[in-house]
Amino acid sequence: MYYPINAYRKIQLEAPYHALTNAGHISYVELDGDTAKNVDAFESIIRCMKEAGIGYGSVNHPVDRDPICGYTGVIDDVCPRCGRHEGEGISMEKLDELRKRYPGVPHFAGKT
């Protein structure tokens, strides 16, 4: 369920309740962009949580996974590891090359 609210405003509204709920509390902020591309904004949100008195805070953000090459992160149009678009295939030569460079590349049945 989404509610349109600015991350800083949400933190300011929820923070006072953290002092009142000593049995447990958490505030979440959900971002729709790649936090690695705007580290300053990410840090700003964390600092806002600290200064507002958030006892336990979390920042959720999108994480994609390419099932072919195993890349985990935000994938826009093209996978940064293998260079394929969603729905495209990949050559066995390229897959073998990726397996040598990245140990997490999945293996598929039928290929040894």
Q: Applying CB under 5 A, which residues contact Zn ion? A: 66, 69, 71, 79, 81-82
Task: Write out the two tokens for 23.
Answer: 């049995």
Q: How far is the CB of 66 from Zn ion (least distance, A)?
A: 3
Cβ closest to Zn ion, residue 51 vs residue 86: 86
Question: What is the residue type of 40?
Answer: D
Cβ closest to Zn ion, residue 14 vs residue 66: 66
Cβ closest to Zn ion, residue 51 vs residue 64: 64
Residues 6+ apart with CB under 8 A from 73: 34, 36, 63, 64, 80
By beta-carbon distance, which residue lies closest to Zn ion? 79
What is the rounded CA–CA span in Å between residue 76 and residue 21?
A: 40
